Amino acid sequence: MSLRAKILTTVCFASAAVLAAFAAGGSATVIEKRSQKMMQIEMEATGHGWVDVRTDGLQVILLGTAPSEAERFRAITRASTVVDSSRIVDNTDVENSVATAPPDFSLEMLRNDDGISLIGFIPSATDRAALVSRLEAQQGVGTVTDMLETADYPEPDGWGMAVDFAVETIRTLPRAKISVDPGLVEVNAIADSPAEKTRIETSLARRRPVELKLVSEISAPRPVITPFTLRFLIDDEGARFDACSADTDRARDRILAAARDAGVKGAQGCTIGMGTPSPQWGDAVVMGLKALRELGAGTITFADADIVLAAAPDVPQATYDKVVGELESNLPDIFSLKAERQKAAEAEGTRPEFTALLDKDGKVSLRGRVTNARSRDAIESYARARFGAASVYGATRLDPDLPQGWPVRTMAALEALDTLASGSVVVTPDLVRVSGITGDQQASDTVSRLLAKRLGEGAAIALAIQYDRRLDPVLGLPTGPECVDRLNGVLAASKVSFEPGSAVIAAAGEKTLDDLAVAMKDCQDFRMEIAGHTDSQGRDEMNLALSQERARSVLMALMERHVLTENLVAAGYGETQPIADNGTEEGREANRRIEFVLLDAKPIETEGAPLPAADATPVTEAEQHADVTDETEVTAPEGEDEAPLDTLGDDAPPMEEAPDEAHEAPAAEDTQTTDPGEGAAPQATETTDGMPAAAPLDTAPDAESPAPEGESAAPAALPEQDPTIEVPVAPAEDSPAKPETRPDGLDTSE
């Protein structure tokens, strides 16, 4: 082949190669652009606009951030329908997903006579073995069954605190279900009695940490009420209950509605209990209250199935006949009605009286008239048995003309007096008056039932009984000095710390404030001072202002913890009351302090609200607080309603002789001297329902009658009646006196 032919052939092959390469490149570019365009359109059309499509030859590259892994998978699947999946390069990623929320942890503790069962879902960090061991270590628990599930998540805030509180609580409740959630504990339990119910509720409230929410429902059996008594009266003071009993919630609501229609003001209560004589108790009571409302004044007393309706003397005869007739005709068959018109009251000073006064120290003075010497010995012996041999002072006079049944009335009055913390009873031929203060919310009910049982349901009684919760043994509330000691004990264990030179409470002081808030729960009835103190460094005026601000900061911090602070004042004393040497760092640290000071040992408010039938608000079955009183029988001879005590036979055992000192007047500082010749009466306290706490005494001997032989003619002093509960407070020996003056221009009061 010639050279020219060879060159031409080479050129042809080269040209063909160039043309082939150009054609191939153009074809690839067309395919890339087409694939990119088709893929982008498909992604947009199917809702995957977040995908960014790129091409590299035949490869289709997917870029972008998918909102979720599921969206990413759906986009890739959709892309494989446009081009072959082998050509797809997945370079997409997924947004950071929110961390999975931890599960809701909860724990239930179920306890009965067989043991404790643990059911729930708890964090793995909770030591199950230690929890079971703590429960098994409690005496009388029995078998602990662990049916818990766990999850590996951190313990939520408040979980450990709630579990600790629940474990401590289940120890005291033999029949209970306790539900635990972070920061929340729900307690459902059954108590053996209303008093036990109150003790449980009080204990829960005292032990609850400030940060913990507590929901409790404690149920107790209904009390047995005997006799089943209700007493309602309308007089010049208005309409009110002396005692109220109901057998069901519905009956209680109907009775209270009828009482409101009859003129009762404010919230009333009625004890729901067992022992009703008839399921129609509510019907009968509603009829009786309506009848008394029509009469306008008088009393109606229900004692089991016996009803006594006593109309006021000024009720018109026609009205009396109409009302009594309608009531007799419509009462359920089991109930019997005795209706009568009250007699007009005798002139003051013409009727005989017997009075017994119980002071706050437990001393009893007996004054007034008794039938004979045997009756006097019996009454004094009975009083010594009730109140203590050394606590009874007798100063009674003999009157053989007293009405029949007088000794029984005086005995019943003394028994009623024994239900009070302090007070008086006055017995007259037509009335027994009981007034005083008690720590039993159901005292009025108890006294009404007692007197109805001893004297009959028709006996005329007047009650002015007040409840003071600080005398309630179930609540066990501390005194003022005990409160201050408790609060200062918290501060002694851990001081409230502040930022240097500031009134800002440091983080280390928050736990102490929480403990103070818990300690304040039962101490909000006493006036106290939060006193701030500093060391001697710095100017006097600056230290005084700083101590005042720090005391104020503590007051505000307690308020933020839901502590009622109306009883508290904040005061600063600067460096004026050191308790240690300011020359040493330890002494200065001790002088920089907060302390509580008792301003008044008496509660802010006298807890003397009159007691009607029950609490001031309607109560339910689970809210009863009274046990049935175990009453000592004073029986009358068969066939007589009331028998005098002088019917004792000659062979009766001799009564205890009163010591000579018993007829001497008590010490002057404990008594109030009265002149019986002038008809003076012991100081009376007016109660909120208008009845005096002590009625005037008719104990003066007749001018013509000498004193009986062996009886002191000198008038006996009577204990002063004081309805408030005083707690003497001795000043602390290690507390220096507060300065009488402060720098001018600074107001350190609250």
Q: How confident is the model at residue 194 (pLDDT cuts 50, 70, 90)?
A: confident
Residue after which a domain boundary falls, among 53, 73, 94: 94
Cβ neighbours, 10 Å, residue 4:
8
**Does pLDDT of 439 surpass 70?**
yes
Residue 524 and residue 375 in one domain:
no
Residue 750 lies in a domain: no
Residue 623 and residue 580 in one domain:
no
Residue 503 and residue 576 in one domain:
yes
d(CA 415, CA 411): 6
Residue after which a domain boundary falls, among 187, 219, 251: 219
Among 593, 509, 598, 591, CA closest to 558: 509
d(CA 16, CA 5): 17
Q: Does residue 377 sit in helix, strand or coil?
A: helix
Q: What is the CATH number of the domain that holds 77?
A: 3.30.1340.30
Residue 402 lies in a domain: yes
Residue 487 and residue 597 in one domain:
yes
Tell me how far CA of residue 55 lies from CA of 85, 87, 89, 693, in angstroms.
14, 10, 9, 104
Among 246, 159, 173, CA closest to 203: 173
562-573: b or e for each residue (b if 16 or more CB lie within 10 Å)?
ebebebbbbbbb
**Which structural domain range is residue 259 located in?**
229-341
Pairing of strands 271-272, 245-246: parallel
Residue 747 lies in a domain: no
Q: What is the CATH number of the domain that holds 461?
A: 3.40.1520.20
pLDDT at 416 (0 to 100): 93
pLDDT at 23 (0 to 100): 60
Residue 3 lies in a domain: no
Q: Structural domain tally of the chain? A: 5
Residue 283 and residue 258 in one domain:
yes
Among 384, 373, 458, 386, CA closest to 420: 386
Residue after which a domain boundary falls, among 569, 603, 637: 603
Q: What is the pLDDT of residues 394-416, one digit of tens each?
A: 989 898 889 988 999 999 999 99
Residue 744 lies in a domain: no
pLDDT at 8 (0 to 100): 72
Residue 587 and residue 484 in one domain:
yes
Amino acid at 678: E
258-286: b or e for each residue (b if 16 or more CB lie within 10 Å)?
bbeebebeeebbbbbbebbbbebbbbbbb
Q: What is the pLDDT of residues 551-589, one digit of tens each?
A: 999 999 998 888 888 889 999 999 999 999 988 988 999
Residue 385 and residue 452 in one domain:
yes
Q: What is the CATH number of the domain that holds 552?
A: 3.30.1330.60
Two tokens at 371? 């039938």
Residue 19 lies in a domain: no
Mean pLDDT, range 333-353, rounded to an integer: 78
263: left (phi over 0), alpha (psi -120 to 50) or beta: left
d(CA 351, CA 698): 8
pLDDT at 105 (0 to 100): 92
Residue 213 and residue 241 in one domain:
no
Q: What is the pLDDT of residues 443-481, one digit of tens each?
A: 888 898 899 888 887 788 889 898 887 777 766 678 888
**Does pLDDT of 640 surpass 70?**
no
Residue 500, phi then psi, degrees to nearest 5: -55, 130
Residue 441 and residue 377 in one domain:
yes
Cβ neighbours, 10 Å, residue 641:
13
Residue 632 and residue 703 in one domain:
yes
Mean pLDDT, range 239-254, rounded to an integer: 92
Residue 589 lies in a domain: yes
Residue 614 and residue 598 in one domain:
no
Residue 273 and residue 334 in one domain:
yes
What pTM value is reported for the model? 0.50
Mean pLDDT, range 611-623, rounded to an integer: 38
Residue 117 lies in a domain: yes
pLDDT at 32 (0 to 100): 79
